[in-house]
């Protein structure tokens, strides 16, 4: 292979790599902001959904127990049981999303490091 062709190819590859590096360095802060904003919004939505689920479950259980305190009806028993599970799932939603909100708010760089480390683990 001719040395001039190889030099030309290496020069073009170097130019491409430099432009890719420049693009990455320009876009990285935007990507980090978008990752933080998206995950914050998802965590807030999870908390709100959890609060709604727990509230609806507790209020419905309260109403059922007011009408049938002994849970004599099998339908009321299973409705109360299902609503208790709904409330528990809502509480779990809140408990799993609040730490994410706090970490994004108080330690965004740590959150990003853990987020990208998690991505790298799944790529392997």
Q: What is the pLDDT of residue 124?
A: 67
Number of domains observed in the structure of the chain: 1
Residue 2: inside a domain, yes or no?
no
Q: Look up the pTM and report it.
A: 0.76
Using 50, 70 and 90 to split pLDDT, how confident is the model at 49? very high
- Cβ distance 95 to 47 under 8 Å? no
CA distances from 46 to 37, 93, 95 (A): 14, 6, 10
- Cβ distance 98 to 64 under 8 Å? no
Residue 87: inside a domain, yes or no?
yes
Using 50, 70 and 90 to split pLDDT, how confident is the model at 23? confident
Residue 17: inside a domain, yes or no?
no
Q: Give residue-wise pLDDT tens across range 75-111.
A: 888 999 999 999 999 999 999 999 999 999 999 999 9
Considering just the CA atoms, what is the radius of gyration of the chain in Å?
27
Domain extent at residue 119: 29-123
Residue 1: inside a domain, yes or no?
no
Residue 61: inside a domain, yes or no?
yes
């Amino acid at each position: 292979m001719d040395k001039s062709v190889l030099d030309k190819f290496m020069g073009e590859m170097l130019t491409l790599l430099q432009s890719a590096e420049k693009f990455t360095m320009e876009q990285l802060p935007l990507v980090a902001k978008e990752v933080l904003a998206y995950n914050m919004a998802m965590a807030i939505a999870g908390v709100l959904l959890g609060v709604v689920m727990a509230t609806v479950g507790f209020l419905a259980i309260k109403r059922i127990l007011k009408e049938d305190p002994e849970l004599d009806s099998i339908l009321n028993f299973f409705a109360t049981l299902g609503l208790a599970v709904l409330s528990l799932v809502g509480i779990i939603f809140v408990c799993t999303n609040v730490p994410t909100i706090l970490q994004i708010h108080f330690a965004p760089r740590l959150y990003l490091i853990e987020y990208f480390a998690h991505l790298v683990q799944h790529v392997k």
